[in-house]
Structure 1
Amino acid sequence: MHPDLTALAAPRLGVFTAREAVRVGYRPDEIRSELGSGRWRWLRRGVYLRAHDLAHAEVDARLRHLVDCIAVLLSLAPGPALSHTSAARVHRLVLPGDVDGAVRLTDAVQWRRGRGYVVTRASLPDGDRGQVLGFPVTAPARTLVDCAREWGVVDAVVAMDAALCGGLVDREGLRAAVLRATHWIGVGDAARAFGLADGRAESPLESRGRLALVEAGLPCPELQVEVHGPQGFVARVDAWYEEAGVAVEFDGRVKYLDPVDGREPGEVLWREKRREDRLRELGIRVVRLAQEDVTPRRRRQLAVRVGALLAEPTAGVRRFRVVRTVEPGRGDSAVATSS
């Protein structure tokens, strides 16, 4: 490919237009030849990508969607910004499993729908805008609010929890984004999700599990509580019920089947067992919940299983104390409490 066209397309993941190809010297018949041979691939009318660049993008679903986003943006008049689920992919937010592949955009002056894309009409103040690869995109907080206005509350909370935990947004910025969306359709759902969000949740399972406990009629647990015994630190538990002295651990299969840091699955399982043994030796009761335990169809069993433990507060002198972690933006980083 012509070096000038390569240089022009490189910052855009290799995407370029027919007009740009003509500008650097390609004749219409040469463009048809490149497309006919398969060296160039058609993305949209007048928007192309080299075959090996497309093959590279196909390996990563996020990258492939970004290629589609760039192709749509190049085919439209300047103005729309990537938004909603497309911006969520750009920012690496946690998406529901059933999100479709449509390119989502927002523009201050137009609403339109075309092949594979939807443009929503809405205001885009400077504070809600950013850039990716030279194209406009809604900022993370605005993106979370836009998505929360369309998604279910649980999916929205999962995304907000992960963004808060990862430092992509802070609580004040997210609150401001919700307030800017006042009177927009669905903002009530976004506000509810924001009220339930907690940046101490460290995985989607922890977020879904916390909400499942509440939906089962149980109290909302404290998150990421450290347990200290007579000899010092013992463990940090995912969730904690103080009065009952019950620790809740949310267990995903990946922790054991594909552990991090190069450890063997058997080693991870052994360490988890020993860790739980130390907690139980202090008189702490431990409940482990997997993904299937927090699904809607298991709410009744969840309420019975955990509720029975919460109905029996710990008796006698406790041989441990806890250190409570406070979500950034809500207070000091940690508060020690003796028990």
Structure 2
Amino acid sequence: MNAIQPLMSSPEPRFDAASLAAHVAQRAADVRRLRGLFAPTSFGKLGLITNIDPYAEPASGSWSRLRQGAFMAGDPAGLSAQERLIMMAIAIRQAAQQPPIFTHSTARAILDLPSIGRDSHLIELAKPPGRAGRSPQARRRRTSIEPTCLKIDELLVTTIDRTIIDSARERSLESAITTADAALQREIADTGSLLAQARALPKGSRGCKMAELALCLADGRAESPLESLSRTRMFQLGLPKPELQVNFFDASGFIGRVDFFWRRLGIIGEADGRMKFRVAEGLTGAEAEERVWRAKRRDDRLLRHPDVAKIGHWDWGEALDSPVFARMMAELGVRPVRDGGWPVPDGPLPRKSRAVCL
């Protein structure tokens, strides 16, 4: 047996019906939990249905107004941005005569699909053909393609596939790839099916080429939005495509799995920066020291591996800033090439696909 075992790349996750069912069940449970905080009533009647005086000074158990005729127990500021969107979607659903179909950023929140960049604070819902009307705190999205639906508790949302494709058609490339990566990593979507749907979009429709590109580049081996962002930056900068989630071994056994590896260059990339060395709250000084020491020893063992020449670490700030990321990668030894080996669709790429400030 060789002293150094061969490197192995983790296989890309595949769609699993049980994973999808479990994900939908978990999302329904989270919506039900939030619905338990909701009260559809007027301000004057609120005191009649609770033991709380709505006119009293705010205290624990007080109620907050979401919109006309809709209150929630507690302070919305205590909720995450995702939970606030879901609460408002519940309020709009309660007031609607016909159940609305939630789309885009609202669907992503309900389905717990991450993105990069600022999401709309408005509730986004499909505008049925031929139906007029407006709704406060909501944005009606016109669509030429009838949305397919998924029921999460009492909320109708666009399916996971449709939500990913809608996001890919109008969000930035890094955001679209992040959303798709997360669904693939959780095994709740299938690359082939997503690509087929993107390629079936009407020719010339808005964002169809960007959606196809994002889904060609999506990879379920990405384990965090930062990894997805980093890989998008590498593509945009014309860098060679790295291998993802490569396992390293030495004579003592398993060293660790790295985020990115350029085998020909012998370079490892880790999308974590200082987070890998962050000390969790509650640890004793000795425990904290041991955790940091283990992380350092891991890097030391990797650098002693015959296939490794350098290791680079970066964080969110560096990955978000394209010029900084480009300089950091150049200093590491990863530079632009003519053909980076990225899977891209036929024909010219969308104009915005390489829109980075250099």
Does the alignment reach a TM-score above 0.5? yes
Match of 2:290 among 267, 270, 288: 267
* Alpha-carbon distance in structure 1 between the residues aligned to 2:335 and 2:46: 71
Question: Which of the pair has the greater relative contact order for Cα pairs under 8 Å at 6+ separation?
Answer: 2
Match of 2:300 in 1: 277
Larger strand share, 1 or 2 = 1
Match of 1:49 in 2: 71
Change in Cα spacing, 1:290 to 1:265, as seen in structure 2 (3 Å) is farther
Q: After the TM superposition, which of the residue ranges 243-252 and 189-198 deviates more from structure 2? A: 243-252
CA positional deviation for 1:181: 3.7
* SS state at 2:255 partner: strand
Kept in 1: contact 2:116–2:174 (CA 8 A): no
State how many pairs are aligned. 290
Match of 1:106 in 2: 126
CA positional deviation for 1:249: 1.6
Change in Cα spacing, 1:199 to 1:182, as seen in structure 2 (3 Å) is farther
CA positional deviation for 1:49: 2.4
Match of 1:244 in 2: 265
Q: TM-score, normalised by structure 1?
A: 0.73
* Alpha-carbon distance in structure 1 between the residues aligned to 2:252 and 2:277: 28
CA positional deviation for 1:190: 1.5
Kindly provide the CA deviation profile for residues 160-199 of structure 1, in whole angstroms up to 9, marking residues without a partner as x.
1122112232223422442454444222221111111111
Kept in 1: contact 2:255–2:301 (CA 8 A): yes
Task: Give the 5 Å matches for 1:214-229.
Answer: 214-229=235-250
Kept in 2: contact 1:13–1:67 (CA 8 A): no
Change in Cα spacing, 1:252 to 1:170, as seen in structure 2 (3 Å) is farther
Task: Give the 5 Å matches for 1:1-339.
Answer: 12-18=35-41, 30=45, 37=55, 41-45=64-68, 47-50=69-72, 53-55=73-75, 58-109=78-129, 110=131, 113-122=134-143, 123-124=145-146, 128-183=148-203, 184-259=205-280, 264-283=287-306, 284-291=308-315, 292-294=317-319, 295-307=321-333
Change in Cα spacing, 1:192 to 1:44, as seen in structure 2 (3 Å) is same
* Alpha-carbon distance in structure 2 between the residues aligned to 1:103 and 1:293: 32
Change in Cα spacing, 1:273 to 1:31, as seen in structure 2 (3 Å) is closer
* Alpha-carbon distance in structure 2 between the residues aligned to 1:195 and 1:112: 38
* Alpha-carbon distance in structure 1 between the residues aligned to 2:252 and 2:45: 76
* Alpha-carbon distance in structure 1 between the residues aligned to 2:279 and 2:200: 42
* Alpha-carbon distance in structure 2 between the residues aligned to 1:243 and 1:231: 24
Once superposed, what is the RMSD of the aligned Cα atoms? 3.3
Percent identity among equivalent residues?
28
* SS state at 1:178 partner: helix
* Alpha-carbon distance in structure 1 between the residues aligned to 2:225 and 2:34: 33
Kindly provide the CA deviation profile for residues 258-304 of structure 1, in whole angstroms up to 9, marking residues without a partner as x.
55997944333211211111122123123223123332121441342
Match of 1:322 in 2: none
CA positional deviation for 1:74: 2.6
